[in-house]
Amino acid sequence: MKVQVLSGYDNVQSIEANNLKRLIVGEKITAFRRSEGWVKLGIDPVRGDGGPDYDGPERRNIVQKSISGELRKSGLFCLLGLRGPKPEW
């Protein structure tokens, strides 16, 4: 998915959404466009900037793994696994 970003004073570009965080952290852009409108960095809230630190388990990295026919016959329909570092819980 492409996201419009403003870099410099008047240079609007379309970038891949997975590059947006890197550009924000590197201070390479001044704004980006959401469906609600333009977000001005340093002025408007950006996800991950606010709120207290979360001290619970990481739930966003859960993925479904396919299972064998033998396990499926036993009544199990999926196994859950985690991507990324091993959680401490």
Q: What is the pLDDT of residue 6?
A: 92
Report DSSP state, residue 3: E
Q: What is the pLDDT of residue 36?
A: 87
pLDDT, block means (10 residues), the chain with 89 residues: 86 90 89 91 76 66 62 58 60
Q: What is the pLDDT of residue 14?
A: 93
CA distance 51 to 49: 7
Going from N- to C-terminal start, the domains of the chain cover 2-40, 58-89
Structure tokens at 36: 């609600």
